[in-house]
A and B are shown apart, each in its own frame.
Chain A
Amino acid sequence: MTAERLIAASLVVSALASLALVVVFFVGGHPQIEGILLALALGGLGAGIVIWSIRLLNAPIQVEERHPLASPEQTRNDAASTVDMRSITRRTLLVRLLLGAVGALAAALAIPALALGPGPGRELFQTPWRAGSRIVGDDGLPIRPDDLAIGSVRTVFPEDAIGSPEAVTLLIKVRPSELRLDAQRMSWAPEGCVGYSKICTHAGCPVGLYRAEEHALLCPCHQSTFDVLRGAVPTFGPAARPLPQLPIDVDADGFLVARGDFPEPVGPSFWNLTHTETDG
């Protein structure tokens, strides 16, 4: 019988593969061999069983009546009258009290969810940048304007918050003559060292890609593109706000420092983004 041989062969392959799997495990393991043997062990078993059902079982096709799903009217009425709500709901006061008590309990039980974390705080509006914060790389070393070549870009932080996900800033050096900023913001970019928040104003990904020839920053997540020369205004993609610009100065020792925090909230928008400190 070919069917029986086929099934027997499948089962034997399966069993041998299982044995081999044990051996492989003890010998040291190897993902590819493990995957193949596991597939053979499972597949042999599966093929054997399926062939068995197709070739050997030969079960007849049967016809079964569907019984109506709905219960007879009488049964339904009986059930409904068993659950006679009127005898309960006529005690209006007690029912209201019952609902009120259950509601209060639900509220009391839900409140501990607030322990999951603090409410939204000022961090949506503020970053660790302060007036006088030295600008450092992730190595913690302060930076002079001359340390950067024109056309280079570095990820920088305030010296006391290295690695901060809110404060992370891209420091890009361009030719000052190429910058198209208003007078105030021009003064925020000493020697062409311009800083923008690295957190995309769309969905918060780090805006890590820089097309140096076009001075365009690109976010890899949803391809929002920002023009470095014109205050990081969005030029393509779903971001609607510019990347906030970090006001930068040079301190007495010649190192780059922040003049203060970003002028606007960094990162993705939220409903009260435009609210001032007092009502925020």
Chain B
Amino acid sequence: MRRLAAALAGLLVVGGVAVALSLEPARADSHDLEPGSIERGARLYQAGCATCHGDSGEGVDGWPPIVNAGEASADFQLRTGRMPYAQERGQQAQRKPPAYGEQEIRDLVAFVASLGDGPAIPEVTLDPALLSPGQRLFASNCAPCHGASGNGGALGGGAIAWPLTDAPPLIVAEAMITGPGQMPIFDWPQEDLNATVTYVEYLRSAPSPGGFSIGGIGPVPEGLVAWFVGMAALAAVVYLVGREWDRTGDGG
């Protein structure tokens, strides 16, 4: 059932810093289709989506077909505000506040799922025991684009990999199995999905035991800080120590 089960009651002790993996409130279970949901979704679809995706999801005028997009993709696209698309054509869909309310999203998702055969909304479980396997999977597969800290990065071609800092576990899992936009598909076994979302969830609230994390993206901010904080402070010190405080003493 679609539910973020398992709470992490335990605290992870990381370098003497206690961290709790905070949990998203579980969403209502949509597999129990509410009566009339598909019909309501169809009306919303006709009004808001059919212009591009076509009356039955076949895609119009080169816009992407979504017949086999499935629940997971529709849920991801609508909840992260990527759909409805609001950019110039050819640009990457932007993350924004969702355009539809909770009930409307569920209805739309139900309708899109009824069009064809696509992946259902996955179930994921956060499990602290999977933190280390999750780190491995993340480092191999996610960090190249999203960065080791999950802060996102440039992909070239005008695209970016989004920061994962705002992505709750279910959204991460939906993205992995559907491969939205430029993202490849990672349709992995359940345990690998769980491990990965657990580590992403850890990263979102990971402590920075060394102090201010300054972006967590390595040498660029570090170099800027070295010059504009460190060297600047030392230049100020040098000036204060070395300036002429008096020209009175004159022993000639």
Measured CB to CB, the residues of A under 8 A from B are 28-32, 35, 50, 54-55, 58-63, 138, 149-153, 155, 172, 206, 208-214, 216, 218, 220, 223, 225, 236
Main secondary structure of the interface of A (DSSP, over half): mixed
Asked if A152 and B145 sit within 8 Å, CB to CB, the answer is: no
Q: With CB as the reference atom, state the residue of chain B lying closest to A62.
A: B251
The answer for the CA separation of A216 and B155 in the assembled complex, in Å, is: 10
Task: Tell me the minimal C-beta distance from A193 to chain B in angstroms.
Answer: 14
Q: Is A149 a contact of B187 with CB atoms below 8 Å? A: yes
| Residue B250 lies at the interface, judged by CB distance under 8 Å to chain A | yes
Q: Is B245 touching A152 in the complex (CB atoms < 8 A)?
A: no
Q: A59-B249, A60-B250 are in contact. List 8 more A-B contacts (CB 8 A).
A: A32-B211, A61-B252, A150-B185, A152-B186, A206-B144, A214-B182, A218-B156, A225-B157
B182: contacting residue among A29, A59, A211, CB under 8 A: A211
Contact between B184 and A152, CB atoms less than 8 A apart:
yes
Indicate the member of B141, B144, B245 with the most A CB atoms within 10 Å. Answer: B144
The answer to whether B185 and A151 have CB atoms under 8 Å apart is yes
Closest 10 A/B residue pairs (Cβ): A60-B251, A208-B144, A152-B185, A211-B182, A60-B249, A149-B185, A153-B184, A212-B184, A151-B185, A54-B245
Q: Are B179 and A152 touching (Cβ within 8 A)?
A: yes
Task: Give Cα A155–Cα B179 distance, bound, in whole angstroms.
Answer: 17
Residues of A within 8 A of B211 (CB): 31-32, 35
A-B contacts, 11 listed (Cβ < 8 Å): A29-B16, A32-B211, A55-B245, A149-B187, A152-B186, A208-B144, A210-B182, A211-B155, A211-B159, A213-B181, A213-B182
Which residues from B are CB-within-8-Å of A61?
247, 249-252
Majority secondary structure, B binding face: loop
Please report the C-alpha to C-alpha distance between residue A35 and residue B153 in the assembled complex, in whole angstroms. Answer: 31
Name the A residues within 8 Å of B247 (CB-CB): 61
- The answer for the CA separation of A29 and B187 in the assembled complex, in Å, is 44
Chain B residues with CB under 8 A of A214:
157, 182
Q: How many residues of B contact A (CB 8 A)?
A: 33
Q: How far is the CA of A152 from the CA of B177 in the complex (A)?
A: 10
Contacts of A210 in B (CB 8 A): 145, 182, 184
Question: Using an 8 Å CB-CB cutoff, how does the interface string of B157-199 with A read, 1 for contact, 0 for none?
Answer: 1010100000000000000000101111111000000000000
Measured CB to CB, the nearest residue on chain A to B212 is: A32
Q: How far is the CB of A146 from chain B (nearest CB, A)?
A: 12
Which residues of the partner chain A approach B140 to less than 8 Å between Cβ atoms? 138, 155
Determine the chain B residues whose CB is within 8 A of the CB of A218 once the complex forms.
155-156
Q: Is B209 an interface residue (CB 8 A)?
A: yes
Instruction: Report how far A90 CA is from B248 CA in the complex, Å.
Output: 65
Nearest-neighbor residue (CB-CB) of A237 within chain B: B156
User: B87: shortest Cβ distance to chain A, in Å?
Assistant: 14
The answer on a CB contact under 8 Å between A31 and B249 is no
In angstroms, Cα B248 to Cα A60, docked, is 8
Cα(A152)–Cα(B192), bound, Å: 15
Closest to A236 in B: B156
Shortest Cβ distance from B241 into A: residue: A50
In the complex, A254→B222 CA distance in Å? 50
In this assembly, does B210 line the interface, its C-beta being within 8 Å of a C-beta of chain A? yes
Determine the chain A residues whose CB is within 8 A of the CB of B156 once the complex forms: 209, 211, 216, 218, 223, 225, 236
- Chain A contacts for B183, CB-based, 8 A: 212
Q: Please report the C-alpha to C-alpha distance between residue A28 and residue B16 in the assembled complex, in whole angstroms.
A: 9
In the complex, A30 Cα to B207 Cα: how many Å? 13
Contacts of A31 in B (CB 8 A): 209-211
Are the C-beta atoms of B179 and A209 separated by less than 8 Å?
no
User: Smallest CB–CB gap between B159 and chain A, Å?
Assistant: 6
B29 to chain A, nearest CB (A): 26
Residues of B within 8 A of A211 (CB): 155-157, 159, 182
On chain A, the residues within 8 Å of B181 by CB distance are 212-213
When chains A and B are docked, how far (Å) is the Cα of A150 from the Cα of B185?
Answer: 8
Name the B residues within 8 Å of A151 (CB-CB): 179, 184-185
Q: Inside 8 A of B249's CB, which chain A residues have their CB?
A: 58-61
How far apart are the CA atoms of A155 and B143 in the complex, in Å?
13
Question: Closest approach, in angstroms, between the C-beta of B249 and any C-beta of chain A?
Answer: 4
Contact status of A62 and B186, CB under 8 A, knowing A212-B179, A213-B181: no
Which of A50, A153, A211, A218 has most B Cβ within 10 Å? Answer: A211
A138 CA / B140 CA spacing, docked (Å): 10
> Bound state CA distance, A32 and B17, in angstroms?
12
Question: For residue A236, which residues in chain B have a CB less than 8 angstroms away from its CB?
Answer: 156
By CB atoms of chain A within 10 A, which of B16, B155, B161, B187 has the most? B155
- Pick the most buried of A28, A35, A208: most chain B CB atoms within 10 A of its CB: A208
Determine the distance from Cα of A153 to Cα of B187 in the docked complex, in whole angstroms: 10
Contacts of A152 in B (CB 8 A): 179, 184-187
Q: Which residue of B lies closest to A53 (CB)?
A: B241
CA distance in complex: A150, B178 (Å): 11
